[in-house]
Chain A
Amino acid sequence: MFTGGVYDMLKAVQNLVNNVVKRLFSKKKDYRLGLYGPPNGGKTTIANRICQDWLGESMGNVSNVAHETREIQIKEQITMKSKGKELAFNLVDTPGIATKVDYEDFLKQGLKEKEAKRRAKEATKGIIDAIKWLDDMDAVIIVLDATKDPYSQVNITIVGNLQARDIPVVLVANKIDLKKADMKRIEAAFPQYRVVGVSAKYGTNIDEFYKALFEVVD
């Protein structure tokens, strides 16, 4: 029986070997870039921004009600170009990961009970799917709401899992147009990553985000 430290070390080595083998021997056609984060961080707004900028079309609906995205959504064959380089990928927008889903929260948003329960059920299924898809990502954009506390266990768990899987990460602090946005707090919470502050809604600093994406994924 290994202690946890040894187990983690062996697991990390195993993941590293698996990734190297996967990269060497798989005929990789589709590079998968995932959008992960807690609900209402702005994942779909960023997905829409990327799709508008590089495909000229939207990806999904956005709303102020949490769990608007309850199914995995994929936009295939997006190609970004910058300084003679190309980055081709399938963009995977995932439902926000949470540890609780209460249908009564949807009632408060004005939904009828039956609809609220259906939505809650779909949200739980969406979270399960998002977790299952973690293994299939080649790189991940973590989207956090810059006005919210970054030290939530969901954020820490997502980051920890991506680190353990050796998956490249771009950490985006969204909604920097809002007064309560606090980039420094997010940078302090995740010092291992470069944090790019953006407003996906208004396109603020979006070029910096694309630059970071090229640097991490390249």
Chain B
Amino acid sequence: MLTLQYIPHHEIENLDSNKRIKKLLKNVKENKILLVEGRLKREEETELIKRTMEDIDDSFKGIELGVIHPNKSNLPFFNKMKRVFIDFLLGDRQGLTIIGPATVVKEIKQDPDKIQLLTSNIEEAQVGLDKKK
């Protein structure tokens, strides 16, 4: 059975980076695919990879990670400025981070506009997330 767990931003926003990563990894190790509202900070993403490597053993093979985030580069100037302002206010709350155990999620294919999860058990579970929405 595939378990998806949604983690709203308010559940992790007051945690420091260490506790945030610990919480995410703990859930992933329980074989859950996490849908995290927003995105991690850049240095937290690398720390997550580092900590994942430290924890790898015969049963835990690592993670698959994907982040979908509004793309500013193709927007007209006014909309781009609006997005910059929204970014300033909301920060890491925007976008969606998907983290799954490598034993369950074979691959996360990212495209500018969508994310596809290729799982070990199910042929292909497509999460059609449109960035423009």
Contact = CB atoms under 8 A, between A and B. Distances in A.
A188 to B, nearest CB: 8
A26 interface: no
A153 B68 CA distance: 10
A3 B90 contact: yes
- Secondary structure type dominating chain A contacts: helix
A75 to B, nearest CB: 25
B91 interface: yes
Given A131-B50, A153-B110, A3 B91 contact: yes
A98 B43 CA distance: 15
B88 A6 contact: yes
B36 interface: no
Contacts of B62: 98-102
A101 B111 contact: no
Interface string A11-26: 1000000000000000
Contacts of A99: 49, 52, 62-65, 102
Contact of A151 (B14, B58, B63, B110): B110
Contacts of B52: 99-100
B76 to A, nearest CB: 16
A13 B102 CA distance: 36
A62 interface: no
Interface in B75-91: 87-91
A12 B61 CA distance: 33
A157 B53 contact: no
Interface of A: 1-9, 11, 97-103, 117, 120, 124-125, 127-128, 131-132, 134, 149, 151-154, 156-157, 160-161, 163-164, 188, 191
Interface of B: 14, 38, 41-43, 45-46, 49-50, 52-54, 56, 58, 61-67, 73, 87-93, 102, 108-112
